[in-house]
Structure 1
């Protein structure tokens, strides 16, 4: 069992969404003792916001990718692989300005635009 946990609050341990995420993960671990948990803290290690370089990296054949485009596509490739390889996804999501944090929005953009 693989669990992907996305932390999106910049408040860390003081965040209620982080505390709720801890509770959810502990409940899952109680059921699946050997669960492998991958935690991605998008507040501390933000995905770059999607731009024309990322889009260009998706439509350029692999053999023609420059170093800049390889770097751009690597963020999406890693995020998609982690998502596909996971059985359960736990997303700690606070609400900022009546919306989700921009770091989570960036992660979603990379996933949706790159999914096979």
Structure 2
């Protein structure tokens, strides 16, 4: 199972709509901090703070290219979040299947 501090950083990073927008944009390909800041009307400093949160969570990687910083999606951290979600999805599906079986059995005994 994924460590909780890793999940805390991932879900904390994803809690902000600007950071989710950044991930969506980076899904289309790499972008500079300036390119990410422009649609939000944000300063480079403000965008850098958002990118740093995403980078600390492992969701984004950055690289200095000339005078700018290029950002791209991280490679595996969303896999950690999805593994956690999938575990609980399977758990709840089993519980709901059991509940459905219980009610089906109850209906059958009433008839």
Identify the TM-score tier after normalising by the shorter chain. under 0.3
| Larger RCO, structure (CA 8 Å, separation 6 or more) | 1
The structure with the largest helix share of the pair is 2
TM-score (norm 1): 0.27
